[in-house]
C-alpha cells in the first residue's frame, strides 16, 4: 500500500545550526521513537531495530537505512527498508528540506513516500497516518530539545554514491 | 396427458404409496422434529480442533508473505533454528526433498506447492512453517526467519491481468504464458442468428468483485500425526481437521502426502459449524503440512489453527469476484430470445481444486427461470495477486442470477413494460416441465408464474395503508427515502452431478471432439451414488453410518426421521455418529443440498432393504415363508403359520412368539443356530445393510444423458424462491434498509420444516450480507484491506428484517424422497431480489444497479453520477 506523509515545522534556530544535529547519527538515533538499537555500517548506511505500535499491532522492524542525498544545510534524503516478520514490511524514501524564515529561524518541510505491506498495511491502515505524524512530531521535538540544550553534535553522515531514490 | 405429465403423476403416486405403506405409527418426516444436534451445540459440548490437545503436541506457525507479488531471493532460517524451543523450520525445499507432492489445483497442468516456491503471489501466502513447543513461541520464532524479497508489480484488476505480460505463473496451464488460467465458450443453439434478428438487444457490464465469505466459527485447522512405527493395519498418518467433504476430498490430503488412501485417516469434528465451501480450498494445506511436520519431528502431533486475521488476509476464504459483459435479445412484445454472458472471474493467485467449477455451475441455469432457447456462455478464470478464491455457498450462481434480473429490469425499461409483467411473460411454463435448458440440464417441476403471483398476493395488503401505500411512499420520497419493491424468482440448483467436476482437467480440444454423443458412451460418465449403511445394535437401536461430513446441517435429525418412518421406530432409536474417511464409502459430502435430496433418498432405499432382510430373518427363524411375515412398527410380525408343522418343541415355542422386535431380531441374527454366541461376519448379517442410492441424473438418463456425455453440469434438483423485498434507499447517505421481505420458497418435499426455516433465515442473512455490505477490499497494490471484522462487515441479527415466508412444496420428480433441498437457499436468490427492488426504488432517479455489493458509498456515487439527483447540502 503506497502512502505519502508530509509536514512542516518551524523553529527560531537557523538552518545551519540545526544541520549538524540532523547529520549526527547518534543524535538521530537518540531521538528516533522506538529505537532499540542502531549500528553504523558506514557513514551512509545504518542498521537499526525499531519497535512501534500501529493500531493494535506492535511490530519490531529490522531497518536498513541509507543516506541518499545531502546538501548542507538544506536537504537530506534517506531511504529505509524495514522488515517486521509476520507483521509486515515497509520501504520508505524521506526528504527533508530546510529554508530560512523571515525572522532568521528555519522552516523545515518533510515528505515521505512509503510502501507498506502485510498486516500493518491492512490492520493499521486507519492508524498509520496519525501514528506516523505523532512519531515524527516526537522526533522533531526531541531534536529541537537537543539543539536547545546545546548538546554536542558531530556531523558524520555522508550520501551513498550510487544509491537511487526510487522505491522498488 | 402428455408424457411429462404422466411421468410426474406416476412419480407422485409412487411416493404417496411409499408413505402410506410405511410401518410408522406417525410420520416423523414432514414434522417439526427437534434437531438432535442443537442441545450439544448450544451447550458448547462440541470438540473443535482447538480443543484437542495431545500432551506431546507441538504447535505450528507460518511465515507468511507481506507482499502481493515478489520474488523470494533468500530464506535464512538459521536464527530461527538456533532458538532453544524451535523443533522445525520447513521451507518448500524441505518439503520437496522429503518426497511430498504438490497440492491439487482446479485445472490441468497446474500445480501448487503448499509453501511458496521461489515467489509469492498474494499477501498471506505461506512461505515457511515453524514448529515449536507452543504457538506463542512458534510465532516468535517465525519472526526470526529472514526472507528476502524482490518486489514485482502486483496485479489486482481482472481486466488488466487478463491482457498483461506480467504473468504470475508463466509455465502453468493450457494457455501458458497467460494469467487466463482456463477459458471456454459454449454456443448453445444459434445465439448469433437470434441476436441479429431480434427487435432489441441490450448489452451491459456488471461488476461483482467484492467477494463474500461464510467466515466459519472455527477457521481452517488441523492436527496432524505421523505414526512412526505403525503396527499392521494402523495408518501412517492421522489427521484431525475441519476439512469439508472429507470422505471424497481427502484425496487432496493423501495425494499431496504421496500415500495410498488407506494410510491417511481423516477425522473431522462433528457439527463444528459452517463450512459453506469456505474450507474447500485451504484446509488441506494445513492438514498436509502438519502431517509432514509431524513426520519430520519424529512423530509428535503438530497442531495449527489459522487465526482470524490469517483467515481473512490469506486464507482463501472468499468468493465471488467477477466482471460481466452480458447481453440479451428480445422482441417488441417482451419475449426474451437469447442471452450471451461473458465473464472474467478473478480467481486470485491460484485456481484452486473444486472452486474453479464455480464458473461452470451457472451453465446449468444459463437461461435462469426463463424460457430461452439460445445462449452463449463464456468464462475466463483469471489469476491475479489477490488471495485465491474458495468455493462459497451458491457456488457461482448468485452473480449469474443477479445479472439476469438486472437485464430483465433493463428490458422492461426499454419496452416501458412492468418489470413483473415481462418476467411473467417469459417464465418457463409449468406445462413444459421437465424443461430442457439450452445447456441440456433439465428442470423437473415448478410453476414459476404461479409462485410469483402467490408472493404478490401476500404483499397485497401492504398497498393499502401498509408499507407500499402510495401516499406513504410519496411522503417518504419527499424526505429523501426512496422505497421500492419488486418480485424476482430465482433458482437454486442443487445435486450437481459428479462428472463435470473434472471438466477443467481435460484438454479443450478433447472437450470439443471426444465429449459428444457421437463419441462418448454414457457408461463412461463418472457418477457418485449416495452410500448409506445401518446396523441394529443389541439394544435394538439403529446405527446409521453416513458418509457425509456433518457440520450441523441436520444430518443426525434427518437420517433419524427418515429411518424412524422406514422402520416404525422413533428418531430417538436412531444413532448417527460422524465417520472417518476410512470407515465409510466415499461420498461427495455436504454440498449441493445432498443431505435433503440424496441422503434422504438413500435412507428410503436403506429402509426398504433392511425391512426385507429382517422379514427374511424372521421367516427363517419361524421356519415359514417370507410371504407369511410382514414388517410392522419396530419389528416383524407373523401373518400366518398355515401349512407349517413344528418340527420340534423349540420350533413350536418360536412359532408362538408372533412378533419379533428389533432387539430380538438382532439376537437371533448374531447367535448361531447352535446357541453359541459366535458373531457372523458383517456381510452375513441380516440386521446390517449397505445401500447405494444411484446418481440421480444418471438414473434419469432420458433427461440428462446429453449434458452428462458432454461433461456439462447437470443439477436435477431445482429449488426456487420468489421474493418481494421492500427496501428503503436513503438518497443522501446511500444506505439501504430492508423493511420486510416477502418470500414464497419452494424446496420440494420438506423433511423437517424447522430445519428448512432455519436454513432460510441463515441463507437470507448471508444473501443480505453479500448484497449490501460484505467486501474483501484490496488496495491497488494488492494489500488486503479487510482483515478484521471491523472492515469485513458480517451481517448480524440487526440486519435481518422482518421475514414473511411461505413454504411451498413442489416435490422433485427426479429424487426418490421428493426433496430438493435448501443447502444454498437465500444467498442464491436474495442478492438478485434486493437489487431488483433497489432498481425499483431508484427508478425516479434513473439509477440502476450495475455493481455489487450495494454499499452506501457505491449507492451514493450512482446517485451523484445520475446528475439531477437531490444532493445533500454538503455533497
One DSSP character per residue, B813-854 reads SSSTT-B---TTTTTTTHHHHHHHHHHHHHGGGT----EES-
What domains sit in chain B, N to C, each tagged with a CATH number? Answer: 24-42+529-693 (3.30.365.10), 54-152+217-273+282-303 (3.90.1170.50), 322-496+713-865 (3.30.365.10)
pLDDT confidence bin for A168, thresholds 50/70/90: low
**Measured between alpha carbons, how far is A97 from A83 in angstroms, rounded to an integer?**
27
- The answer to whether B292 and B95 have CB atoms below 8 angstroms apart is yes
Q: Cβ of A85 under 8 Å from any chain B Cβ?
A: yes
Q: Cβ of A89 under 8 Å from any chain B Cβ?
A: yes
**Measured between alpha carbons, how far is B527 from B699 in angstroms, rounded to an integer?**
10
Measured in angstroms, the CA of B786 and the nearest CA of chain A are apart by 7
**Measured between alpha carbons, how far is A113 from B701 in angstroms, rounded to an integer?**
64
Three-state DSSP class for residue A167: coil
**Measured between alpha carbons, how far is B312 from B305 in angstroms, rounded to an integer?**
13
Question: Which residues from B are below 8 Å from A when comparing CB atoms?
Answer: 61-68, 123, 139, 142-146, 149-151, 309, 313, 779-781, 783-788, 791
pLDDT confidence bin for A161, thresholds 50/70/90: confident
Three-state DSSP class for residue B432: helix
The interface pTM score, or ipTM, of the predicted complex is: 0.87
| Domain spans of chain A, in order of start | 2-149
Quick count: other Cβ atoms within 10 Å of Cβ B576? 23
The closest of B715, B760, B443 to B598, measured between CA atoms, is B715
Contact A117 B150 (CB under 8 A): no
For residues A130 and B817, the model is more confident at: B817
Q: Which three cell numbers stand for residue A3?
A: 502512502
A-B Cβ pairs (cutoff 8 Å, strict): 62
Contact B783 A83 (CB under 8 A): no
Any residues with CB less than 8 A from the CB of B787 and at least 6 apart, and which?
A: A119, A122, A123, B309, B312, B313
A106: phi then psi, degrees, rounded to nearest 5: -125, 135
Q: Which three cell numbers stand for residue B426?
A: 417469459
The pLDDT of residue B513 is 94
Closest residue in B to A61 (Cα–Cα): B143
Three-state DSSP class for residue B10: helix
Residue of A122, A127, A166 to mutate, testing the B interface (most B Cβ within 10 Å of its Cβ): A122
**Measured between alpha carbons, how far is B403 from B391 in angstroms, rounded to an integer?**
20
CB contacts of A115 in chain B (<8 Å) are 151, 781
Contact A121 B780 (CB under 8 A): no
The pLDDT of residue B280 is 78
The pLDDT of residue A124 is 72
The pLDDT of residue A94 is 94
pLDDT < 50 regions, chain B: 873-875
Q: Cβ of A1 under 8 Å from any chain B Cβ?
A: yes
Say which residue the cell 407500499 belongs to: B468
The pLDDT of residue B279 is 82
Distances (CA, A) of B874 to B114, B731, B858, B871: 52, 13, 18, 8
Q: Cβ of A63 under 8 Å from any chain B Cβ?
A: no
Output the CA torsion sign for B399, B405, B411, B414: negative
The pLDDT of residue B875 is 43
Contact A119 B309 (CB under 8 A): yes
The pLDDT of residue B281 is 75
Measured in angstroms, the CA of A154 and the nearest CA of chain B are apart by 34
Distances (CA, A) of A100 to A74, A143, B334, B638: 9, 17, 75, 112
Q: Which three cell numbers stand for residue B626?
A: 417370507
- Its CATH architecture, for the domain A2-149, is 2-Layer Sandwich (3.30)
Contact A122 B145 (CB under 8 A): no
Measured in angstroms, the CA of A1 and the nearest CA of chain B are apart by 6
The pLDDT of residue B4 is 59
Measured in angstroms, the CA of A82 and the nearest CA of chain B are apart by 11
Q: Beta strand pairing status for B717-730 and B629-632?
A: unpaired
- The answer to whether B782 and B349 have CB atoms below 8 angstroms apart is no
Amino acid at each position: 500500500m503506497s502512502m505519502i506523509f508530509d509536514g512542516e515545522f518551524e523553529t527560531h534556530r537557523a538552518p545551519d545550526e540545526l544541520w549538524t544535529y540532523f547529520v549526527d547519527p547518534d543524535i538521530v538515533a537518540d531521538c528516533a521513537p522506538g529505537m532499540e538499537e542502531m549500528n553504523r555500517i558506514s557513514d551512509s548506511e545504518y542498521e537499526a531495530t525499531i519497535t512501534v505500535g500501529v493500531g493494535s499491532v506492535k511490530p519490531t522492524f529490522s531497518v536498513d537505512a541509507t543516506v541518499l542525498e545531502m546538501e548542507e544545510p538544506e536537504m537530506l534524503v534517506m531511504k529505509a527498508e524495514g522488515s517486521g516478520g509476520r507483521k509486515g514490511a515497509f520501504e520508505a524514501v524521506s526528504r527533508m528540506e530546510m529554508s530560512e524564515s523571515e525572522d532568521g529561524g528555519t522552516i523545515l518541510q518533510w515528505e515521505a513516500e512509503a510502501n507498506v505491506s502485510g498486516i500493518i498495511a491492512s490492520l493499521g491502515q486507519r492508524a498509520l497516518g496519525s501514528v506516523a505524524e505523532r512519531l515524527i512530531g516526537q522526533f522533531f521535538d526531541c531534536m529541537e530539545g537537543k539543539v536547545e540544550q546545546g548538546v554536542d553534535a558531530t556531523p558524520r553522515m555522508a550520501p551513498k554514491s550510487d544509491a537511487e531514490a526510487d522505491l522498488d | 396427458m402428455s408424457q411429462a405429465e404422466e411421468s410426474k403423476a406416476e412419480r407422485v403416486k409412487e411416493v404417496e404409496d411409499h408413505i402410506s405403506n410405511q410401518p410408522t405409527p406417525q410420520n416423523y418426516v414432514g414434522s417439526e422434529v427437534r434437531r438432535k444436534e442443537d442441545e450439544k451445540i448450544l451447550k458448547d459440548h462440541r470438540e473443535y480442533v482447538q480443543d484437542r490437545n495431545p500432551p506431546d503436541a507441538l504447535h505450528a506457525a507460518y511465515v507468511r508473505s507481506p507482499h502481493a507479488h515478489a520474488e523470494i531471493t533468500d530464506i535464512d532460517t538459521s536464527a530461527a533454528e538456533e532458538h532453544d524451543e524451535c523443533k522445525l523450520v520447513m521451507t518448500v525445499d524441505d518439503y520437496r526433498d522429503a518426497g511430498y507432492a504438490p497440492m491439487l489445483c482446479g485445472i490441468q497442468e497446474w500445480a501448487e506447492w503448499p509453501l511458496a516456491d521461489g515467489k509469492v503471489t498474494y499477501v498471506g501466502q505461506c512461505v515457511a512453517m515453524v514448529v515449536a513447543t507452543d504457538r506463542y513461541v512458534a510465532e516468535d520464532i517465525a519472526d526470526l526467519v529472514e526472507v528476502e524479497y524482490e518486489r514485482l508489480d502486483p496485479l489486482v484488476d481482472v481486466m488488466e491481468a487478463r491482457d498483461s505480460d506480467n504473468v504470475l505463473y508463466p509455465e502453468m496451464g493450457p494457455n501458458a504464458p497467460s494469467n487466463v488460467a482456463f477459458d471456454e465458450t459454449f454456443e448453445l443453439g444459434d445465439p448469433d442468428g437470434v441476436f441479429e434478428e431480434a427487435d432489441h438487444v441490450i448489452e451491459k457490464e456488471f461488476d461483482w468483485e467484492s467477494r463474500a465469505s461464510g467466515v466459519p466459527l472455527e477457521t481452517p485447522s488441523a492436527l496432524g500425526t505421523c505414526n512412526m512405527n505403525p503396527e499392521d493395519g494402523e495408518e501412517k498418518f492421522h489427521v484431525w481437521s475441519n476439512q469439508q467433504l472429507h470422505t471424497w476430498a481427502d484425496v487432496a490430503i493423501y495425494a499431496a502426502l504421496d500415500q495410498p488412501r488407506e494410510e491417511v485417516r481423516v477425522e473431522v469434528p462433528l457439527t463444528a459449524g459452517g463450512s459453506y465451501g469456505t474450507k474447500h480450498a485451504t484446509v488441506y494445506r494445513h492438514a498436509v503440512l502438519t502431517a509432514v511436520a509431524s513426520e519430520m519431528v519424529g512423530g509428535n502431533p503438530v497442531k495449527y489453527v489459522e487465526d482470524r486475521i490469517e483467515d481473512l488476509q490469506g486464507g482463501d476464504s472468499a468468493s465471488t469476484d467477477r466482471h460481466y459483459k452480458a447481453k440479451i435479445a428480445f422482441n417488441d412484445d417482451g419475449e426474451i430470445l437469447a442471452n450471451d454472458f461473458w465473464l472474467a472471474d478473478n480467481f486470485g493467485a491460484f485456481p484452486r481444486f473444486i472452486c474453479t467449477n464455480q464458473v461452470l455451475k451457472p451453465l446449468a441455469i444459463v437461461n435462469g427461470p426463463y424460457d430461452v432457447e439460445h445462449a452463449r456462455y463464456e468464462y475466463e478464470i483469471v489469476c491475479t495477486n489477490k488471495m485465491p478464491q474458495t468455493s462459497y455457498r451458491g457456488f457461482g450462481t448468485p452473480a449469474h442470477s443477479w445479472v439476469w434480473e438486472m437485464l430483465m429490469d433493463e428490458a422492461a425499461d426499454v419496452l416501458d413494460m412492468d418489470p413483473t409483467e415481462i418476467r411473467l411473460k417469459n417464465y418457463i411454463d409449468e406445462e413444459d416441465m421437465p424443461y430442457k435448458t439450452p445447456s441440456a440440464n433439465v428442470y423437473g417441476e415448478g410453476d414459476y408464474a404461479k409462485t410469483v403471483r402467490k408472493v404478490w398476493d401476500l404483499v397485497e395488503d401492504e398497498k393499502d395503508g401498509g408499507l407500499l401505500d402510495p401516499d406513504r411512499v410519496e411522503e417518504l420520497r419527499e424526505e429523501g427515502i426512496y422505497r421500492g419493491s419488486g418480485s424476482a424468482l430465482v433458482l437454486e440448483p442443487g445435486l450437481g452431478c459428479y462428472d463435470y467436476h473434472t471438466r477443467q482437467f481435460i484438454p479443450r480440444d478433447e472437450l470439443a471432439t471426444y465429449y459428444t454423443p457421437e463419441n462418448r458412451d454414457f457408461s463412461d460418465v463418472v457418477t457418485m451414488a449416495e452410500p448409506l449403511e445401518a446396523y441394529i445394535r443389541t439394544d435394538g437401536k439403529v446405527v446409521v453410518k453416513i458418509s457425509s461430513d456433518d457440520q450441523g446441517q441436520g444430518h443426525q435429525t434427518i437420517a433419524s426421521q427418515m429411518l424412524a418412518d422406514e422402520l416404525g421406530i422413533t428418531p430417538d432409536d436412531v444413532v448417527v455418529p460422524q465417520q472417518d474417511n476410512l470407515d465409510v464409502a466415499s461420498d461427495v459430502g455436504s454440498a449441493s443440498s445432498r443431505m435433503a435430496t440424496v441422503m434422504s433418498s438413500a435412507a428410503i432405499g436403506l429402509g426398504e432393504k433392511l425391512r426385507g432382510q429382517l422379514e427374511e430373518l424372521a421367516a427363517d427363524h419361524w421356519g415359514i415363508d417370507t410371504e407369511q411375515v410382514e414388517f410392522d412398527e419396530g419389528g416383524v410380525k407373523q401373518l400366518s403359520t398355515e401349512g407349517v408343522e413344528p418340527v420340534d418343541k423349540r420350533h413350536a415355542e418360536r412359532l408362538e412368539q408372533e412378533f419379533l422386535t428389533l432387539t430380538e431380531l438382532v439376537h437371533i441374527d448374531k447367535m448361531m443356530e447352535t446357541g453359541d454366541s459366535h458373531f457372523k461376519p458383517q456381510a452375513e448379517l441380516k440386521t446390517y445393510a449397505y445401500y447405494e442410492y444411484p446418481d440421480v441424473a444418471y438414473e434419469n438418463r432420458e433427461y440428462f444423458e446429453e449434458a452428462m456425455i458432454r461433461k456439462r453440469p447437470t443439477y436435477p434438483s431445482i429449488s426456487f424462491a420468489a421474493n418481494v423485498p421492500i427496501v428503503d434507499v436513503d438518497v443522501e447517505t446511500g444506505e439501504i434498509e430492508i423493511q420486510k421481505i416477502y418470500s414464497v420458497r419452494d424446496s420440494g418435499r420438506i423433511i423437517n420444516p424447522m430445519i428448512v426455516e432455519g436454513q432460510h433465515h441463515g441463507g437470507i442473512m448471508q444473501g443480505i450480507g453479500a448484497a449490501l455490505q460484505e467486501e474483501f477490499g484490496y488496495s491497488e497494490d494488492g494489500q488486503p484491506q479487510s482483515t478484521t471484522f471491523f472492515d469485513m462487515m458480517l451481517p448480524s441479527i440487526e440486519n435481518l428484517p422482518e421475514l414473511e415466508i411461505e413454504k411451498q412444496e413442489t416435490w422433485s420428480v427426479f429424487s426418490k424422497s421428493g426433496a430438493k433441498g435448501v443447502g444454498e437457499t437465500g444467498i442464491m436468490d436474495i442478492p438478485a431480489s434486493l437489487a431488483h427492488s433497489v432498481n425499483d426504488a431508484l427508478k425516479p432517479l434513473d439509477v440502476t444497479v450495475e455493481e455489487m455489493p450495494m454499499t452506501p458509498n457505491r449507492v451514493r456515487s450512482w446517485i451523484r453520477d445520475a446528475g439531477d439527483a437531490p444532493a445533500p447540502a454538503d455533497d
